Amino acid sequence: MSQEKTDAAPAPAEAKTVAACVREMRRAAARGEPVDAEVIGAWGETFMTELYGKQKPVRFEVRPKGVINGWGNPLEGDVAHASRRRLDVRALYLHPPPTKPVKEHRWDDKNICRDCQEPMFLSGPDCVPPGKVINFRDRDAISLEWFRQPLEELIQLAKTARINRFDAAKLTNEANYLIERIDQHLKGKSNEPQ
């Protein structure tokens, strides 16, 4: 008997509107059978997108747990630490028509956007890829030529100062290495096409 009942009951179609969702929910309740978690997830997603769209809450209201009325404005940290402070929180939304995103997300098989690298459950309506990383060394706010003279004076100081020969050799080697690197960088920069 139960086998016939499950075969006869049509699988709920994926609802596109809130009204279709409610209709499917009522049919499922009338059948009195368990509903698949995927179907419930689709209903919840439909409710969120159709009722609230991709908007953020306009404001939050809080009240102590167990109180029937008396919603008020939250203090700093009340929303973030509501469970610790034993508060109920509600988000209030406006319902303007959903705006079309400036740039759509492109999801991969792991539900992560290919452009902005945001996971689906954290992403906003617009895909905002991270900006190009600026390499401040390319700006040449300083000239490497400025370091040549102090390095040459450091080599001269290492030869004439009263320091042990190991420290003098180390200072000379490091200063010569830096001068060579500066020369290579300046030579490479002069060979680049403008």
Confidence of residue 33 (pLDDT cuts 50, 70, 90): confident
Of 93 and 91, more confident: 91
Count of all residues that appear for the chain in the document: 194
Task: List, for residues 35-53, the tens digit of each pLDDT value.
Answer: 999 998 888 888 888 877 7
pLDDT at 6 over 50: no
Cα 166 from Cα 164, distance rounded (Å): 6
List beta partners, residue 61: 90
pLDDT at 2 over 80: no
Cα 3 from Cα 8, distance rounded (Å): 9
193: which DSSP letter?
-
Cα 47 from Cα 39, distance rounded (Å): 12
Q: Rounded to two decimals, what is the model's pTM?
A: 0.28
Range of lowest pLDDT (68-77, 83-92, 134-143, 151-160): 134-143
Cβ contacts of residue 75 below 8 Å, gap of 6+? none
